[in-house]
Structure 1
Amino acid sequence: MSAEEQHRLQITLQPISERHLEELKALNGVIFPIKYQEKLYRECLLFQGLTQGAFYDNSLIGAVAVRLEQQQDGTARLYLITLGVLAPYRSCGIGSQLLQRTLEAAREDPNIVDAYLHVQTSNEEAIRFYQRAGFEIAETLLGYYRKNRLNPPDAYILRKRLAS
């Protein structure tokens, strides 16, 4: 895609709803090496203000799917389940827009203290993307992706504090 074509893209960001569910499954099936369970998709629909899609010409080309995890102290953590953009639309800022929109919405809830996600240790592009957004590597989980038969099977937990 040329720079001129990228500039002309009219992308709409909007919450993912039930009617987008099959598109979200198909999108994730293309982007990620892991097949996510139906339960995950049902969970992320509970957080429509946080789970967002990027649409071009009424087609889903990118999305961020999240869930909130309630903590014993009454706070909550935002878990980024997936964030992905179809290859032809990458490097257009769409992933950054999706992430920014979701983090801004999360900051409106004072109970959400941080955001975190898992990234395969070999996925340098994703690690750089999240570090540019203020995430830091908090932990390494050896064998995290073993059941998914990914190589390497290790993951980083990347975390970003949201509450002040």
Structure 2
Amino acid sequence: MLGRKTPRRSSIGYRPIGPSDLEILQQLHADLFPIRYEPEFFHNVVNRREIISWGAVDRNRPNAQSDELIGFVTIKIVLARESEITDLVRFDPTRSDQSLVYILTLGVVESYRNFGVASGLIREVTRYAKTIPTCRAAYLHVISYNTPAIYLYKKMSFTCVRRLYGFYLIEGQHYDAYLFVYYVNGGRSPCSPLELAVCAVNYVRSSLKSVAGRLWRYDVKKPWRWTKCKDNCGLVTPSQSKRNLVNEGSNDFQCV
């Protein structure tokens, strides 16, 4: 199945994954991923137990295969306050209902790659996330050597916000992962690179004004003031230059 040629004219459609897709879903995960998933995971997907999914199909395939999966994406809704990216999403901690969409798995049959199938599946996810008023972002992890996936998520406007060292353990070997986030419904990083730059500039300006004022008035030196970045994203000391501040922010919130 994976090796056969794709018809030149295909009509890709997207639909929920159901019980009849169990066998092919298991096979696709085994073929596409180095990680093995428990049977319970697949049963939860097809029976929609806390997992939401979309399958991609090619309507132009022969009748027996026109509804067979050639791609899939699975997601789960998680509470923002209980997620691992609480520090990366601007949300109201007093509201316990604010949520996130976590992309569990995404895959496309090899012969259907580069036809926009994965992009279509991601669009299904982001559109769905936007329809949830309490949702602030969709996020996922991708193994560091998966260059095509990294390129795809960047193309789809996901932001790489963090590198996680040794995140995956595959056959006894650790691999790094990148954390990607797609903000929706007003959710965004609590301190973006632009805000860090503005914070640094404001700090330099206020410091220069403070020094000039003391020199002019011959006042006794006063302790340096801490400058707080917008929305509590960090504190700046006088020993931190503008360049250092921006670089530190980039390492924390931007994939380099």
Residue 163 of structure 1 aligns to a residue whose secondary structure is coil
Mapped contact 1:43–1:67 kept (Cα < 8 A): no
The equivalent residue for 2:229 is: none
Deviation at 1:135, TM superposition (A): 0.7
Residue 46 of structure 1: aligned partner: 49
Contact 1:121 1:152 in 2 (8 A): no
TM-score between both structures, scaled by the size of structure 2 = 0.57
3-state SS of paired residue (1:105): helix
Is 1:154 paired with 2:176?
yes
CA drift of 1:18 comes to 2.3
Structure 1 residues 27, 83: closer, same or farther in 2, change over 3 A?
Answer: same
CA gap 1:42/1:111 in 2 versus in 1, 3 angstroms = farther
Spell out the pairing of 1:112-151 with structure 2 (5 A cutoff): 112-146=135-169, 148-149=170-171
Which portions of structure 1, spanning 4 or more consecutive aligned residues, are displaced by more than 6 angstroms? Answer: none
Return 5+ residue gaps in structure 2 as ranges.
Answer: 59-65, 82-95, 187-256
What TM-score do the two structures reach when normalised by structure 1? 0.87
**Alignment partners' CA distance in 2, 1:37 and 1:67:** 16
Aligned residue pairs total 159
Change (3 A) 1:150 1:89: farther
Q: 1:30: which partner in 2?
A: 31
Greater Rg by CA: 2
Higher relative contact order (CA 8 A, sep 6+): 1
Percent identical pairs in the alignment equals 29
RMSD: 2.0
1:111 deviates by 1.1
Structure 1: give runs of 5+ residues left out of the alignment: none
Task: Sort the Cα spacing of 1:78 and 1:42 in 2 relative to 1 into closer, same or farther, 3 A.
Answer: farther
How far apart are residue 37 of structure 1 and its match? Answer: 2.1
